[in-house]
Structure 1
Amino acid sequence: MDIQKSGLVDEERQALLAAIVSSSQDAIVSKTLKGIITSWNPAARRLFGYTEEEILGRHISLIIPEDRIHEEDFILEQIGRGLRIEHFETIRRAKSGRLIPISLTISPVFNERREIIGASKIARDISENIAAKKEKERLYEEVKTLSRKKDEFIALTAHELKTPITSLRGFMEVLQMHTDPENLHLGLIERCVRQTNKLTALMNDLLDVSRLQIGKLLLRREHFDIVAMVHEVLSGFTHAAKHQFDFRNQQPVMIDADRIRLEQVLTNLLNNAVKYTPAGGTVTLEVRETPDQVEVSVRDEGVGIDAEHLPRIFDQFYRAVDPGSHISGLGIGLYISKEIVVRHGGSIRVESRKGSGSVFIFSIPRQY
């Protein structure tokens, strides 16, 4: 009775496996170790175009292109060693002659004595995957081309605008120098000078973005005192008198770096600190040193930054304020600052909480 029951279980198992193979959407084919096809499910017929009657007993090379026959030797060698082959991407030929990109998973077939008697193949048509990949690559190349053209346009536009803006600023400064302090128009001239200075800074930032994109932002290193540099940059802000600046470092800290580019980083950080700190607030600066690194921090008393913005704060054109905010900017100052610091072999980070101000910290090697 147990033998009969065991026989029924085996029959049910075989029937279940046969149903799975028959209903599979993937082509399932079995063959002997000599490559003779012994089974062929309906999905294989749909994929390759051969019926069971046409294919059973034929050699598997019937569906293998001539330039890929060597793959069969490799497959049979692996199967003969009892190894499984997974996700092997190749090409097979349908009855119509159409070449079909497929992904093969091949397993050895054992008899009751655990001897390898053949192989079972599962073939999946990856034509759509290949087409999608090619389309993705095409779109990627198209985006790269458009991005390059965009960078070239920005560089050309910024360069062309820089000359007339520089001339305009020069004329305004001459007018400013030759205008009587009591003249009511002096205030208007001073406003024009400030606006042309903003335009000049914007053009320089756009040019720097373009240089970064094409790898032409060069560093000109020199040996200098970074504390003296911070004092010099601060002198351009303290005259405004709307904020307090606290910088207590006095002892020289020597470093090998591009002084002009680090001035640019510090100026960007100070501009942001002043922009977001209410009038009368304090901006605190500090230079700290280790045997290998120099760290500069700029702390403000501004509105702070939401945690959701912190991971992207140094991304190109990213702004952590609402689009309708009265605070101006294109979101490229911090991006440029990060790139300059990274090109020095350093790092930059921000620590902030909404409503508690922010501190921007960059560190660079003392020698590079």
Structure 2
Amino acid sequence: MHVPNFTGLNYTNVFLQMPVAAYICDDHNNLVAYNPAAEKLWGSIPVIGKPCEKHSQDDEFTIVRPDGSKSIVQAHITTLPDTAGTVVILMDITAQIDDDNREARLAAIIESSDDVIISKTLGGYITSWNKAAEKLFEYTEDEIIGKHITTLIPEDRHAEEDIIINRIKNNLRVDHFETIRITKSGKLIPLSITVSPIHNRKGEVIGASKIARDISKQKQSEERLQMYAENLEILNSVGQIISADLDTQGILQKVTDATTQLTGAAFGAFFHNEVNEKGESYMLFTLSGAPREAFEKFGMPRNTAVFKPTFEGEGIVRVDDITKDPRYGHTPPHYGMPEGHLPVVSYLAVPVISKSDGVIGGLFFGHPEPGRFTIEHEKLLAGVASQAAIALDNAKLYEEVKSLNAKKDEFIGLASHELKTPVTSLSGYLQLIERNMPAADLNNTFIKRARQQVIKLTSLIEDLLDVSKIQTGKLPFSFTTFNFVQLFNDAIEMMQHNNPSHTIRAEFDANQLLIYADQQRIEQVIINLISNAIKYSPDAGLIIIKGQATNSKLKVSVQDFGIGIAKDQLKRIFSRFYRVENLAAHMSGLGIGLYISHEIIHRHHGKIWAESELGKGTTFFFEIPLQQNGDR
């Protein structure tokens, strides 16, 4: 610091106390004074009398200090009255330039982003609007700035804005909220939005920034996956229904009824090629959505240009308006549909083809309105037709199937014995290795994991065997009288020991309860329900299991506080190989534990069910009568 020698007016104190760097050059352009802020800015003590660098007004340049740090400064040049020389004031604008650069980069990112980025006041009025928002919502920036955000929100969702604003006012974010918004043209678009508070320099919340992503494709994919899953379930369901019937007419009627309902057809028919005892070919048919009298008077369909692809197995025929199809209406005597025939505009026909017998019939569907059938109906019916063909073949080969089933059961029994023996040996060897391995050995962890996997494999083998036995009606039961409370407590103690990550709290209103049931199977149900509760509540540490006895029934409940199950899936969770969709795809299991539990409780003349709420957990219940005949 060098104090200037001013004459006339006394500017010394002002000069020294200036918060910005300043120095004075005499009329020969030599340094004569500088203030403490200048010394700090330069990072060194300058030499008085040294020539000053020449700068013009508002000149911007970089100062490099001896320690290598830098600052960007702007020069402001002036003269003071009654003094000789020039005063140069250096404004450190590094932070300002960094802010400007940051804002420029942010603006560029916002404008080039594929996501919608909007800002609004706490009152909900839009203050900024990027190109992606303009593209998605169809409003230009001039059209939308100053408008209320509810311009983009469907009327039935206006309450969402109040909830979002209240969170923002409390300095809370809204993350990945899935909702629906509306465009200028009235199109509804599914979005995932994240809303964050905007603060002023004092840290006060003054508005909100919103990032929105169009998830239409994601939703469409989810809907397609859901549709495929539902179609697969339908196919499995139809397959089970028709495969359970060995009567040809019964199979045909079930297939016709199910497919007519699935396609939304006004009526459907199944024409079946059948050979009688004399070797003569004729066609039987079943109807759905219309009385048999509506078709009988017209006889069997002929091999016209419209029917030929179906009767000869060339493929599926789907026409939005059959009356406009070039193959329609060229065959005498009707040249189209006979008078009095049910009106058909939308037309769909699927051949039913057996691998052994070729075309064995066809499914035909009609609707009086055009364009009622879709490609998805084609895919679904192709699967049903395949299953129908198999079911019809099975009806003819019933005796052979029974023989094959007997051989299959024999094979499963043999395979299970052969699988369980090496798995049991493997488990024993692993236990020996674990016992003889030093505690400090790092391989102990891998041995324990290997044993856990062997236990899982053993459980899967036993479950698969149980499923096989259920299907063949050979699942063994052994009914005895035992103390249920003892079984209840023993099962919980074992599960608690094997699952230290969770606390299992037991509640029973008696110390002893004698019941007549299969002790091993009831224990299997309890362990399975507790295992499920632990698996599907990874972030919740408590499982509550309760038992309650009345004069005639025993009721047990197992409650977790995990991910929960959607209501529309609760009826399906006891189906064979069914797993809850979209919630725990990463969790292991075959989806047969609840199926086996359902069969066990059913065989005890009881019932099993579940109550659940997504995100809050699930409670499974089962009831069995205290006095029952059982399966002896």
Task: Sort the TM-score into its range (normalised by shorter chain).
Answer: 0.5 to 0.7
Residue-pair matches, total: 258
Q: Is the aligned partner of 1:125 residue 2:300?
A: yes
Determine the C-alpha separation between the residues in 1 that align with 2:552 and 2:445. 49
The RMSD of aligned alpha carbons is: 3.4
**Contact 1:223/1:255 (CA < 8 Å) preserved in 2?**
yes
Structure 1-normalised TM-score?
Answer: 0.62
- Quick check: 221-230 or 180-189, which moved more? 180-189
Deviations 1:84-119 (A, max 9, x none): xxxxxxxxxxxxx9775679989xxxxxxxxxxxxx
State the shift of 1:275 in Å: 0.4
Determine the C-alpha separation between the residues in 2 that align with 1:342 and 1:353. 25
Q: Is the aligned partner of 1:367 residue 2:627?
A: yes
Residue number in structure 2 paired with 1:299: 559
Unaligned runs of 5+ in 2: 1-278, 286-290, 303-310, 312-351, 353-359, 363-387
Residue number in structure 2 paired with 1:203: 461
Determine the C-alpha separation between the residues in 1 that align with 2:505 and 2:480. 27
Determine the C-alpha separation between the residues in 2 that align with 1:262 and 1:242. 25
Residue number in structure 1 paired with 2:418: 160
Residue number in structure 1 paired with 2:392: 138
Q: 1:343 aligns with which of 584, 600, 603?
A: 603
Q: Is the aligned partner of 1:259 residue 2:536?
A: no
Q: 2:443 aligns with which of 179, 185, 198?
A: 185
- Change beyond 3 A, Cα 1:258–1:142: farther
Residue number in structure 2 paired with 1:17: none
Q: Is the aligned partner of 1:229 residue 2:471?
A: no
**Contact 2:563/2:583 (CA < 8 Å) preserved in 1?**
no
Q: 1:272 aligns with which of 525, 532, 543?
A: 532
Determine the C-alpha separation between the residues in 1 that align with 2:396 and 2:617. 42
Deviations 1:68-94 (A, max 9, x none): xxxxxxxxxxxxxxxxxxxxxxxxxxx
- Quick check: 277-286 or 338-347, which moved more? 277-286
Alignment of 1:16-165 (within 5 A): 122=297, 124-125=299-300, 132=361, 135=389, 137-141=391-395, 145=401, 148=405, 155-165=413-423
> What secondary structure sits across from 1:314 in the alignment?
coil
Determine the C-alpha separation between the residues in 2 that align with 1:342 and 1:335. 11
Structure 2-normalised TM-score?
Answer: 0.37
What is the identity, as a one-letter code, of the residue corresponding to 1:180? P
Determine the C-alpha separation between the residues in 2 that align with 1:183 and 1:197. 22
Which one scores higher on RCO, CA 8 angstroms, separation ≥ 6?
1
Determine the C-alpha separation between the residues in 2 that align with 1:143 and 1:336. 29
- Change beyond 3 A, Cα 1:235–1:105: closer
**Contact 1:205/1:333 (CA < 8 Å) preserved in 2?**
yes
Unaligned runs of 5+ in 1: 1-96, 107-120
Determine the C-alpha separation between the residues in 2 that align with 1:231 and 1:308. 34
**Contact 2:506/2:544 (CA < 8 Å) preserved in 1?**
yes
Alignment of 1:240-255 (within 5 A): 240-249=499-508, 250-255=510-515
**Contact 1:102/1:126 (CA < 8 Å) preserved in 2?**
no
Deviations 1:330-359 (A, max 9, x none): 001000110111111111101112112111
- Quick check: 324-333 or 336-345, which moved more? 324-333
**Contact 2:495/2:527 (CA < 8 Å) preserved in 1?**
no
**Contact 1:295/1:362 (CA < 8 Å) preserved in 2?**
yes
**Contact 1:229/1:263 (CA < 8 Å) preserved in 2?**
yes
- Change beyond 3 A, Cα 1:225–1:181: same
Alignment of 1:323-334 (within 5 A): 325-334=585-594
State the shift of 1:152 in Å: 6.2
State the shift of 1:160 in Å: 2.2
Determine the C-alpha separation between the residues in 2 that align with 1:217 and 1:141. 26
**Contact 1:152/1:210 (CA < 8 Å) preserved in 2?**
no
Deviations 1:275-310 (A, max 9, x none): 011345211111111222111110111100012211
Residue number in structure 2 paired with 1:312: 572
State the shift of 1:323 in Å: 9.1
State the shift of 1:174 in Å: 1.8
